[in-house]
Chains A and B, each alone.
Chain A
Amino acid sequence: MHPIINYFVHQGVPLETVILILMFPIIATIIAFFRQVFGIKAFGIYTPMIVTLAFMAMRINNNNGFSGVKYGTIIFISVIIAGMIARYLLKKLRLLYLPRVAITLTIVSFAILAILVFGGSLQRTGLASVSIFPLLIMIAIVEKFVATQIEKGNRTAVLLALETLMISLVCFYLVGLNIIINMIIYHPWVVLLTIPINFFLGKWTGLRFSEYYRFREVFKGM
């Protein structure tokens, strides 16, 4: 263990929290990389990050490796589906924004409760024992999702939600790798490398991978 980490722990900060906090820059950099180089947008940087954390929290809570992700994904997808159903139901009513989000949240809450009860009835206790904090995070996605639905339409919202899920899963697996956890414990200064990497990303003017596809007809014409 690196002396500085040792010092942190001795001051009473739990090791897990130290690792988690030092993971933030790495997750953020991965998300920035996905946006600038691949062109995968997701819901900004905050949402995929917090979903990643929710996945991690579920794992820690469950203490059984990667099964937390399974439940997390199930809940995430059901949140999105509930959001789509809510839109379908509320579309004709022409409600104002916040009441509309509130109703959507209600539907999502009931949906999650139903899933937990259903999981429990199948003796999937892992699902039911998911703590309240990650659940709240999942529900919070709903607002982002509804806002995107209104602004850019259902298709874009679903696409961005799936991109968010994808990035979050990738981030989750990466930061769960022992090699990275060990790196943080033994060489925490590596985290500082994210700054030059982001500097490079921030000056990157090349085409994104998705743009090679978007402009394929232009390439053909050249």
Chain B
Amino acid sequence: MFRFIKNSRKILGMNSRNLKYIRPNNRKKAIRLADDKILSKRVLKKGGIPVPDLLAKISSHKELDNFDWSKLPSGFALKPNRGLGGEGILVVYGRKKGWDDAWVKADGSIITIEDIKNHIRNILDGNFSISGEGDIAFFEERLRLLKLFKTYAYKGIPDIRVIVFNKVPVMAMLRLPTKESGGKANLQQGGIGLGIDLATGVTTTAVQGKSKIVEYVPGTRLLLSGIKIPYWKDILELAVKAQEISGLGFLGADVAIDKEKGPVFVEINARAGLSIQIANLAGLRGRLERVEGLKIKTIKRGVRVGMDLFGGEIEEELEEISGRRVIGTVEKVKLIGKNGKEVEVEAKIDTGAMSTSIDVELARELGFEEALNYFEKIEFPQNFSREDAAKIEKELRKKYLTGHSDLDNINIVYSSHGVSIRPAIKINFIMDSLIIPASVNVIKREELKFQAIIGKRNLGRFLVDVNK
């Protein structure tokens, strides 16, 4: 019970968000800026933050009547200037072929100029605006979907929400549009929110809608955790910079990634939502309290602090659970040869290969010259069939293995280059500070990028993270 109360103090609720974070940190002027999309776009752009281009704006019915529709590009986003929670946003993907007054929406439906005009009239009348008063409609460049997100996002652009407080990014989530949400990246409408490890930009846990914990993209076996978000550090730096520029002490920054432009700022929010805590399965209040009062001078420093304080848990956690080390696809490996000779090389971690192999020259350098010379003198049978291979291998081993003490084995290796008979030597190597004893095939790899590849047999104590 005591623990429960303690934990409940780590979670940020509506009351404490409004009273302790929004009220004292977000001044009225800054909130007005955040609520005015066209203005905040201009201010951010002036501050050097990339934003989607403003194509046109319509502020009255008269302007609507005189609007030149031909100047719009084939794809655009139409938004209310003071919209709330993504309401009233209309995105079209291209002109309808053969029609000169119609576009195609994300779901394939057709929308005519008359429909768009009606939508704009609704915007002008303030039906989507925060205050309910008259509003301005504006056209904005449509962002193009990043290839990485193609399999995850349903008809829409995912965006990244970063909460920044006191110049430190404290929590982040990736929002994916789904079929249920009709292509909108809005959690309330059934979108998916993915928690993000702040240090690495890799997604962790996921929630769909208000509180359903999910593991896969709905209807698929596509894992939601482990997506590495590109430009991660840039995104965090942009978010902190936006805080500086906007003057919002407690900021919810929405950043999308465009295929060509990279990270672009979609929106700044003065009243960041609380669902981000469910996506991350972590409390925001505890994090905010840890950051409060820190004296952060530069943007880079703020990002560093956020990454250090609220990230890096994934790897540690994985290593804790499995007792295995997490390595990347390329790792530095120290090979220990004869007479204590050590050579460090970059090795490819190849889970497609059974055994580890190194280049002939590398083996010579490590002091296996003699054994290799001995091996080269052996006369091998040529042009044997695959059925006979096992038998020949057995005979060769019987005949020659005792001939030199360094020779550990003789293997017939089938590869894409054909068949070859290779020697194997016993060698220890150190990878990620673990000593691994191995029987290593010696092959010609000089024309290849890596002098060594580490195969499955020697990877039992590791987990491979392809993003690392």
Residues of A within 8 A of B (CB): 36, 39, 94, 96-97, 147, 150-153, 202-208, 211-212, 214-222
Within 8 A of A (CB), among B1-51: 4, 7-8, 10-11, 13-16, 19-20
**Contact assessment for B13 and A218 in the assembled complex, using a CB-CB cutoff below 8 Å:** no
- Bound Cα distance A3, B14 (Å): 43
With contact pairs A214-B211, A215-B11 given, residues A221 and B16 touching in the complex (Cβ less than 8 Å):
no
- Bound Cα distance A222, B126 (Å): 43
Chain A positions within 8 Å of B178 at CB level = none
Which of A96, A147, A208 meets B14, CB within 8 Å?
A208
Which of A36, A150, A153, A221 meets B127, CB within 8 Å?
A150
The 3 closest A-B CB pairs, nearest first, are A221-B281, A205-B16, A207-B13
**B81 at the binding interface (Cβ < 8 Å):** no
- Bound Cα distance A204, B16 (Å): 8
**Contact assessment for B87 and A211 in the assembled complex, using a CB-CB cutoff below 8 Å:** no
- Bound Cα distance A8, B15 (Å): 39
Report the stretch among B117-125, B235-243, B356-364 that lies at the interface: B117-125
A97 CB to closest chain B CB (Å) equals 5
- Bound Cα distance A150, B122 (Å): 11
**Contact assessment for B282 and A218 in the assembled complex, using a CB-CB cutoff below 8 Å:** yes
With contact pairs A39-B14, A97-B127, A217-B281 given, residues A205 and B19 touching in the complex (Cβ less than 8 Å):
yes
A144 CB to closest chain B CB (Å) equals 12
B interface residues, tally (CB under 8 Å): 35
**B170 at the binding interface (Cβ < 8 Å):** no
A99 CB to closest chain B CB (Å) equals 10
**Contact assessment for A96 and B15 in the assembled complex, using a CB-CB cutoff below 8 Å:** no
Which of B20, B122, B125, B281 meets A218, CB within 8 Å?
B281
Chain A positions within 8 Å of B213 at CB level = 217
Residues of B within 8 A of A (CB): 4, 7-8, 10-11, 13-16, 19-20, 84-85, 87, 115, 118, 121-122, 125-128, 132, 189, 205, 207, 210-211, 213, 274, 277-278, 281-283
With contact pairs A96-B125, A97-B127, A221-B281 given, residues A216 and B13 touching in the complex (Cβ less than 8 Å):
no
**Contact assessment for A208 and B15 in the assembled complex, using a CB-CB cutoff below 8 Å:** yes
**Contact assessment for A222 and B125 in the assembled complex, using a CB-CB cutoff below 8 Å:** no
With contact pairs A97-B122, A97-B125, A208-B15 given, residues A219 and B4 touching in the complex (Cβ less than 8 Å):
yes
**Contact assessment for A207 and B211 in the assembled complex, using a CB-CB cutoff below 8 Å:** no
- Bound Cα distance A156, B121 (Å): 24
A43 CB to closest chain B CB (Å) equals 14
Chain A positions within 8 Å of B281 at CB level = 217-218, 220-221
Given A36-B15, A218-B11: 10 more A-B contacts, CB < 8 Å: A97-B122, A97-B126, A150-B128, A202-B19, A205-B13, A206-B8, A214-B274, A215-B11, A218-B282, A218-B283
Which of A147, A152, A205, A216 meets B211, CB within 8 Å?
A216
Chain B positions within 8 Å of A218 at CB level = 11, 277-278, 281-283
Which of A202, A203, A207, A221 meets B8, CB within 8 Å?
A207
Chain B positions within 8 Å of A219 at CB level = 4, 7-8, 11
Which of B8, B132, B283 meets A147, CB within 8 Å?
B132
Which residue of A is nearest B275, CB measured? A214
With contact pairs A94-B118, A208-B14, A222-B283 given, residues A151 and B4 touching in the complex (Cβ less than 8 Å):
no
Q: 16 A–B contact pairs at CB < 8 A?
A: A39-B14, A96-B127, A97-B122, A153-B189, A206-B13, A211-B11, A211-B274, A214-B211, A214-B274, A217-B278, A218-B278, A218-B281, A219-B4, A220-B281, A221-B205, A221-B281
Q: Which of A147, A151, A204, A206 has the most CB of B within 10 A?
A: A151
With contact pairs A96-B121, A221-B281 given, residues A203 and B19 touching in the complex (Cβ less than 8 Å):
yes
- Bound Cα distance A12, B20 (Å): 47
- Bound Cα distance A152, B132 (Å): 13
With contact pairs A36-B15, A150-B127, A221-B281 given, residues A205 and B210 touching in the complex (Cβ less than 8 Å):
no
- Bound Cα distance A207, B277 (Å): 14
B137 CB to closest chain A CB (Å) equals 14
- Bound Cα distance A222, B9 (Å): 12
Which of B20, B118, B121, B283 meets A205, CB within 8 Å?
B20
Chain B positions within 8 Å of A221 at CB level = 205, 281-282
**Contact assessment for A212 and B8 in the assembled complex, using a CB-CB cutoff below 8 Å:** yes
- Bound Cα distance A97, B7 (Å): 45
Chain A positions within 8 Å of B11 at CB level = 207, 211, 215, 218-219
Chain A positions within 8 Å of B210 at CB level = 214
Chain A positions within 8 Å of B205 at CB level = 221
A14 CB to closest chain B CB (Å) equals 37
Which residue of A is nearest B10, CB measured? A222
Chain B positions within 8 Å of A215 at CB level = 11, 277-278
- Bound Cα distance A150, B213 (Å): 28
- Bound Cα distance A77, B278 (Å): 34
A169 CB to closest chain B CB (Å) equals 24
Chain B positions within 8 Å of A212 at CB level = 8
**Contact assessment for B87 and A206 in the assembled complex, using a CB-CB cutoff below 8 Å:** no
**Contact assessment for B13 and A208 in the assembled complex, using a CB-CB cutoff below 8 Å:** yes
Chain A positions within 8 Å of B10 at CB level = 222
- Bound Cα distance A97, B119 (Å): 12
A206 CB to closest chain B CB (Å) equals 7
A191 CB to closest chain B CB (Å) equals 25
- Bound Cα distance A88, B282 (Å): 40
B320 CB to closest chain A CB (Å) equals 15
**Contact assessment for B7 and A222 in the assembled complex, using a CB-CB cutoff below 8 Å:** yes
- Bound Cα distance A141, B60 (Å): 30
Chain B positions within 8 Å of A217 at CB level = 207, 211, 213, 278, 281
Chain A positions within 8 Å of B4 at CB level = 219
- Bound Cα distance A96, B115 (Å): 13
**Contact assessment for A205 and B122 in the assembled complex, using a CB-CB cutoff below 8 Å:** no
A100 CB to closest chain B CB (Å) equals 9
Chain A positions within 8 Å of B84 at CB level = 151
Chain A positions within 8 Å of B278 at CB level = 214-215, 217-218
**Contact assessment for A205 and B15 in the assembled complex, using a CB-CB cutoff below 8 Å:** yes
Chain B positions within 8 Å of A214 at CB level = 210-211, 274, 278
Chain B positions within 8 Å of A207 at CB level = 8, 11, 13, 15-16
Chain B positions within 8 Å of A152 at CB level = 85
Chain A positions within 8 Å of B122 at CB level = 94, 96-97
